């Protein structure tokens, strides 16, 4: 048998055939949810409460009538609305009446803030959302404070439930159920900023729904004209509901039949919440205090100085006139002097012209021939023409001056009229002052009773003003308490969200590192399958080849465009080195990508645990000074933002007082005057410097000419070496970090002259050969199994390691590890190179021992340094696991092997000289024993 729907359930359905729509009220607020669950959650609770009175008492609802400020074009008006809180979405829904089934709109409280202004009408408060401000008005100040406190609590409870943060000792699941306990805890967390407000049960809560809606003066004022369809739906539903069910109301208006619980309604205090409000309407009319009269004080002052006032005024009026007359006379005399000076100048010019004419006439009379006299006449004619032109120009100037004079006269007349007008105004003001003075004297002569009455009236008004100020002070104090509690809760929310974000970022970094590790293992498996391809079927070999090609199709832009990339694999690193070098051999390409993924994984895992604390320690180190702490920090690697400062400090510690300030510039000038013999070799090596770095691959790069100048300056600085292949890479690394070419030059000088032994970069490279023998000794002591393996397969490691020592691992290690090695190398010296060289072999010892073919061993040693991705592990092996040796042991070993090498070289020179001598003797004997052709014929 089908169950007939109860009237309470009709609320969920609305009008048949018409889905619930998302509506907004007259001010286009946040649209109320059109979903049945969100719209009718309070109605459903009330209906179920009536249908099943035996059930557990329903949760208390935050609801009631409030006035909402709406805008109709230029007109603003208050509209009565029924507001109720939705627990599921933290929205404050509102309808026209409590019996409506569809809300007109909603206010999102999850990210809202609340405010109440003292200057506004009583009961007016605001709910501010990111998109809008809603202005609401309660019937009293107590009701307003209750709404604000409850909305604040609701917002707090919803935010804690949403973020999964605990509210002290109560679990999230218990938040909506136990209102009294939650209320107590929320007030405890509010730190006593704002005390709990007693629930006004007559205007807030379920009891208010049974009361009639407040009536506004205008009949149509309360109707929402912007939502006619919602109004029609609510009206039809109310009419249909009243006809079908006259005896009991199952809608929100059916609270008349709802059983009241005296204890429940009296103790209604609900959980925290937050809200939003429209633009503020300030309706309070400022009371203006009555006029305060201060005439007695003014009258006494004027009477005391009035007799001297007229005399001073007359004196001040006559003295400016005399000054003005004297100034006019001075101006007239000045103009007359100027005119006399001009007249004297004209007379001088006329006298000079007459003398010139006299001299010309004398020359004319003295001329012997008619030709000379004719020339003098022509000269006179030209002078006459010039004088005529000058006269015309002077006449033109005269006309212009006459016009300007007329304009000045007109201006003078206007100014005279303006002065006359000002004088008349001044006279009128003086008359007004006299009248006012007389009025003050009359006021002071009035009886004392009138003055007492005015004083009493003024005192009464001041008392009223003090009372108003006290009321305002109380209101501001209440507002301050509420806003303090609001700021306190928002600050706690922000801190909890920041901590959760930090945890999520660390978790994401670990997951991303795990993904990189899995991907690198997958690529390594593909590589091993590729090596075993002769034993695979043809279809399997093709599948492995296609998977490898797909894995090599790496695009940095696609990686960077992903939704979450904490540390994406970029095409170039911070210093311009290619992250994945472009090798021609496909197997090397695969190995390069595996190594890039491992470096990314290690960086992600060590960023929060290791890198961040180290950066904080470096940031706190203002001044650098030699110490054990600084040595340990440099071994761990200097952060990029501090590396330039540290390198400059290390170089300056050794070279600051050895050379003059302009030494580098003088070397460059010397190179411009004379071409060094090493210039051509330097030009050949420039394009071959750091071919995997974008700053040196292009000839137009800014660092290429800097590198050229640094190498040329060093060739003049150290003529014994001049230039050696390998110095270009050392100088290039210094330029990448230090940027300034002079700093890079001194860094190169520090490496060659202070860190490396003498003759390390000479023609014979004798010191470099000595270091190779010393390294073999250390290798046999620290790694005996690996040394035996090399001897078994006749592997000479110096073919690989010689370049490591010559250029300090440049082009051998990835850039991230290379710069860490250089940090310690510049600070401690060449022993760092020995330690890292041993650590590299230890790092890959097991892989090398698995290879039993000499050719494969050499191929692996050419590439295996690029497969080291964990710089922290390599550093730990170099300085801890390998039982490091002191510098004294290194010096003794170098001295021993240098003596042996020099003895061997001397023996070779002796054998070479003996061989040359024997060859020369054999050539001489052949020449002596030979017979010439002439002797043969004889």
804-820 tens-digit pLDDT: 999 999 988 988 899 99
Give the pLDDT confidence score for residue 162 in this predicted structure.
66
Give the pLDDT confidence score for residue 295 in this predicted structure.
36
The model scores a pTM over 0.75: no
d(CA 762, CA 80): 97
And the tokens for 297? 């004080």
- Under 8 Å between Cβ of 800 and 864: no
d(CA 838, CA 884): 10
And the tokens for 524? 């390594």
Give the pLDDT confidence score for residue 587 in this predicted structure.
55
Give the pLDDT confidence score for residue 764 in this predicted structure.
84
Coil, helix or strand for 529?
A: helix
User: Within the chain, what is the greatest distance between any pair of CA atoms?
Assistant: 174
Q: Is residue 477 part of a domain?
A: no
And the tokens for 747? 């860094």
More confident residue, 341 or 363: 341
Coil, helix or strand for 31?
A: coil
288-319 tens-digit pLDDT: 334 333 333 333 333 444 344 444 444 544 67
d(CA 212, CA 207): 11
d(CA 137, CA 453): 42
CATH number (domain holding residue 76)? 2.30.29.30
Pairing status of strand 105-108 against strand 113-115: unpaired
Whether 789 has a pLDDT exceeding 90, the answer reads: yes
Give the pLDDT confidence score for residue 117 in this predicted structure.
80
Q: How far is CA 572 from CA 513, 549, 575, 580, in A?
A: 20, 22, 8, 8
Among 218, 241, 28, smallest CA distance to 129 is for 28
- Under 8 Å between Cβ of 196 and 149: yes
- Under 8 Å between Cβ of 172 and 161: yes
Q: How far is CA 492 from CA 70, 168, 498, 740, 871, in A?
A: 34, 12, 10, 48, 40
Among 586, 637, 584, 616, smallest CA distance to 826 is for 637
- Under 8 Å between Cβ of 741 and 732: no
Coil, helix or strand for 106?
A: strand
Give the pLDDT confidence score for residue 837 in this predicted structure.
95
CATH number (domain holding residue 794)? 1.10.472.80
394: confidence class by pLDDT, cuts 50, 70, 90: very high
DSSP string, 794-819: T--THHHHHHHHHHTTTTTS-HHHHH
Among 67, 98, 92, 99, smallest CA distance to 80 is for 67
Question: Average pLDDT, whole number, for the chain?
Answer: 74
Quickly count: other Cβ atoms within 10 Å of residue 6's Cβ. Answer: 15
Mutual angle of helices 179-189 and 141-163, in 10-degree steps: 90
d(CA 690, CA 695): 9
Question: In which element (H, E) is residue 80 found?
Answer: strand 75-86
Give the pLDDT confidence score for residue 517 in this predicted structure.
67
Give the pLDDT confidence score for residue 368 in this predicted structure.
61
Q: 587: Cβ–Cβ under 8 A, 6 or more apart, which residues?
A: 527, 530
495-552 tens-digit pLDDT: 877 777 777 767 776 676 677 667 767 777 766 676 666 666 666 666 666 676 666 6
H helix intervals, 808-853? 815-828, 831-843, 845-849
Q: Is residue 94 part of a domain?
A: yes
Pairing status of strand 63-72 against strand 75-86: antiparallel
Give the pLDDT confidence score for residue 21 in this predicted structure.
36
Q: Is residue 75 part of a domain?
A: yes
CA–chain centroid gap for 791, Å, is: 58
DSSP string, 605-665: HHIIIIIHHHHHHHHT--S----HHHHHHHHH---HHHHHHHHHHHHHHHHTTTS-TTHHH
Whether 738 has a pLDDT exceeding 60, the answer reads: yes
DSSP class of residue 256 equals G
DSSP class of residue 380 equals H
616: Cα within 13 Å, side-chain hemisphere = 7
Find the length of the chain.
Answer: 938
105-119, 164-178, 307-321: which is most confident: 105-119
* b/e per residue 646-658 (b: at least 16 CB within 10 A): bbbbbbeeebeee
Whether 573 has a pLDDT exceeding 70, the answer reads: yes
Q: Is residue 453 part of a domain?
A: no
516: Cα within 13 Å, side-chain hemisphere = 25
And the tokens for 916? 């040359």
442-446, 730-734, 844-848, 898-902: which has the minimum mean pLDDT?
A: 442-446
Mutual angle of helices 370-444 and 295-366, in 10-degree steps: 170
The single residue listed with the structure tokens 């009372």 is 467
657: confidence class by pLDDT, cuts 50, 70, 90: low
Q: How far is CA 208 from CA 202, 211, 212, 213, 221, in A?
A: 6, 5, 8, 9, 22
Angle at 816 between CA 813 and CA 821, to 5 degrees: 65
Domain count, the chain: 2
d(CA 556, CA 562): 10
Domain that holds residue 151: 61-162+199-212
d(CA 78, CA 66): 10
Whether 154 has a pLDDT exceeding 90, the answer reads: no
- Under 8 Å between Cβ of 109 and 275: yes
Q: How far is CA 13 from CA 10, 19, 89, 583, 737, in A?
A: 5, 8, 20, 69, 72
Q: Counting beta carbons within 10 angstroms of the beta carbon of residue 148, is it exposed (0 to 12), middle (13 to 18) or buried (19 or more)?
A: buried
- Under 8 Å between Cβ of 266 and 205: no
Give the pLDDT confidence score for residue 226 in this predicted structure.
64
Whether 675 has a pLDDT exceeding 80, the answer reads: yes
Q: Is residue 803 part of a domain?
A: yes
And the tokens for 3? 């169950």
Among 693, 763, 699, smallest CA distance to 733 is for 693
And the tokens for 630? 């600084």
CA dihedral 175, 176, 177, 178 (to 10 degrees): 50
Angle at 64 between CA 58 and CA 68, to 5 degrees: 145
Q: How far is CA 401 from CA 383, 394, 398, in A?
A: 27, 10, 5
And the tokens for 140? 């009293």
Q: Is residue 745 part of a domain?
A: yes
Q: Tell me phi and psi for residue 441, to 5 degrees.
A: -65, -40
And the tokens for 149? 């406190």
Q: Is residue 459 part of a domain?
A: no
Give percent of the chain above pLDDT 90: 26
Q: How far is CA 274 from CA 107, 182, 483, in A?
A: 10, 16, 12
More confident residue, 149 or 237: 149
181-222 tens-digit pLDDT: 445 444 444 445 667 888 887 788 877 777 776 665 554 556
> What's the average model confidence in pLDDT over 92-100?
87
Give the pLDDT confidence score for residue 223 in this predicted structure.
63
d(CA 581, CA 692): 7
d(CA 690, CA 833): 20
Among 513, 509, 511, 516, smallest CA distance to 612 is for 509
Quickly count: other Cβ atoms within 10 Å of residue 638's Cβ. Answer: 24
Angle at 513 between CA 509 and CA 514, to 5 degrees: 120
More confident residue, 159 or 303: 159
Question: In which element (H, E) is residue 908 found?
Answer: helix 887-929
CA–chain centroid gap for 579, Å, is: 27
928: confidence class by pLDDT, cuts 50, 70, 90: low
Sign of the alpha-carbon dihedral angle for 368, 369, 372, 373: positive
> End-to-end distance of the chain based on CA atoms, in angstroms?
152
> What's the average model confidence in pLDDT over 330-357?
85
């Amino acid at each position: 048998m089908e169950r007939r729907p109860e009237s309470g359930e009709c609320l969920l359905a609305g009008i048949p055939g018409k889905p619930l729509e998302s509506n907004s009220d007259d001010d286009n607020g946040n649209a109320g949810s059109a979903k049945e669950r969100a719209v009718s959650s309070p109605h459903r609770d009330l209906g179920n409460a009536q249908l099943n009175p035996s059930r557990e008492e329903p949760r208390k609802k935050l609801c009631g009538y409030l006035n909402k400020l709406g805008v109709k074009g230029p007109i603003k008006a208050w509209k009565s609305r029924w507001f109720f809180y939705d627990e599921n979405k933290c929205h404050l829904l509102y309808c026209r009446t409590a019996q409506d089934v569809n809300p007109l709109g909603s206010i999102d409280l999850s990210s809202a803030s609340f405010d109440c202004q003292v200057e506004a009408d009583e009961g007016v408060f605001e709910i501010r959302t990111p998109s809008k401000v809603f202005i609401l008005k309660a019937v009293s100040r107590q009701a307003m404070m209750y709404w604000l406190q409850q909305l604040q609590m609701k917002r707090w409870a919803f935010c804690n439930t949403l973020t999964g943060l605990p509210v002290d000792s109560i679990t999230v699941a218990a938040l909506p159920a136990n209102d009294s306990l939650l209320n107590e805890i929320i007030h405890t967390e509010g730190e006593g900023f704002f005390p709990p407000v007693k629930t006004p049960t007559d205007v807030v809560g379920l009891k208010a729904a049974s009361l009639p809606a407040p009536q506004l003066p205008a009949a149509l004022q309360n109707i929402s004209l912007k939502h006619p369809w919602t109004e029609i739906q609510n009206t039809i539903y109310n009419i249909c509901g009243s006809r079908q069910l006259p005896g009991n109301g199952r809608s929100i208006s059916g609270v008349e039949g709802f059983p009241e619980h005296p204890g429940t309604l009296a103790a209604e205090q609900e959980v925290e919440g937050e809200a939003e409000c429209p633009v503020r309407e300030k309706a309070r009319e400022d009371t203006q205090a009555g006029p305060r009269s201060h005439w007695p004080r003014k009258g006494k002052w004027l009477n005391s100085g009035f007799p001297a006032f007229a005399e001073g005024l007359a004196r001040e009026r006559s003295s400016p006139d005399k000054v003005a007359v004297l100034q006019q006379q001075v101006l007239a005399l000045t103009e007359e002097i100027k005119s006399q000076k001009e007249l004297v100048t004209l007379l001088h010019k006329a006298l000079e012209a007459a003398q010139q004419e006299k001299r010309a006439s004398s020359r004319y009379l003295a001329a012997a021939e008619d030709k000379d006299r004719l020339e003098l006449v022509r000269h006179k004619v030209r002078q006459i023409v010039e004088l005529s032109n000058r006269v015309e120009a002077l006449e033109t100037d005269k006309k212009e001056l006459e016009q300007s004079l007329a304009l000045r006269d007109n201006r003078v007349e206007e100014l005279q009229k303006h002065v006359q007008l000002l004088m008349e105004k001044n006279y009128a003001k003086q008359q007004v002052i006299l009248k006012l003075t007389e009025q003050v004297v009359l006021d002071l002569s009035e009886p004392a009773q009138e003055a007492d009455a005015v004083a009493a009236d003024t005192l009464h008004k001041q008392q009223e003003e003090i009372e108003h100020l006290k009321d305002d002070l109380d209101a501001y104090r209440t507002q301050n308490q509420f806003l303090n509690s609001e700021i306190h809760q928002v600050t706690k929310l922000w801190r909890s969200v920041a901590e959760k974000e930090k945890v999520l970022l660390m978790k994401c970094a670990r997951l991303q590192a795990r993904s990189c590790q899995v991907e690198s293992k997958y690529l390594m498996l593909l590589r091993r399958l590729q090596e075993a391809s002769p034993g695979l079927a043809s279809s399997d070999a093709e599948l492995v080849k296609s998977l490898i090609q797909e894995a090599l199709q790496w695009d940095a832009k696609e990686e960077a465009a992903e939704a979450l990339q904490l540390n994406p694999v970029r095409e170039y690193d911070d210093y311009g080195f290619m992250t994945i070098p472009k090798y021609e051999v496909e197997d090397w390409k695969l190995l390069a990508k595996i190594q890039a993924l491992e470096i990314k994984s290690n960086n992600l895992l060590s960023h929060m645990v290791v890198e961040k604390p180290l950066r904080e320690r470096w940031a706190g180190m203002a001044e650098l000074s030699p110490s054990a702490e600084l040595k340990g920090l440099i071994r761990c690697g200097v952060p990029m933002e501090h590396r330039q400062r540290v390198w400059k400090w290390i170089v300056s510690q050794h070279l600051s007082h050895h050379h003059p300030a302009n030494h580098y510039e003088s070397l460059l000038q010397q190179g411009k005057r004379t071409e060094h013999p090493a210039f051509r070799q330097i030009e050949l090596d420039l394009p071959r410097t750091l071919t995997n770095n974008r700053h040196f691959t292009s000839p137009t790069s800014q660092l290429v000419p800097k590198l050229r100048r640094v190498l040329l300056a060093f060739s003049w600085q150290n003529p014994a070496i001049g230039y050696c292949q390998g110095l270009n890479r050392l100088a290039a690394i210094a330029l990448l970090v230090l940027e300034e070419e002079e700093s890079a030059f001194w860094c190169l000088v520090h490496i060659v002259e202070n860190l490396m032994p003498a003759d390390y970069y000479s023609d014979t490279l004798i010191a470099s050969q000595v270091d190779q023998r010393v390294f073999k000794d250390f290798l046999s002591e620290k790694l005996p199994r690996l040394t035996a393996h090399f001897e078994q397969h006749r592997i000479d490691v110096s073919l690989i390691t010689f370049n490591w020592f010559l250029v300090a691992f440049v082009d051998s290690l990835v850039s991230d590890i290379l710069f860490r090695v250089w940090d310690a190398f510049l600070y401690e010296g060449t022993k760092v190179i020995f330690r890292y060289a041993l650590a590299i072999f230890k790092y890959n010892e097991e892989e090398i021992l698995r290879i039993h073919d000499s050719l494969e061993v050499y191929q692996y040693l050419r590439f295996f340094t690029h497969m080291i991705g964990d710089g922290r592990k390599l550093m730990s092996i170099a300085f801890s696991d390998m039982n490091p040796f002191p510098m004294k042991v290194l010096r003794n070993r170098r001295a021993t092997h240098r003596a042996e090498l020099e003895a061997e070289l001397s023996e070779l020179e002796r054998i070479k000289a003996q061989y040359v001598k024997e060859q020369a003797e054999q050539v001489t004997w052949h020449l002596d024993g030979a017979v010439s052709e002439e002797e043969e014929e004889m």
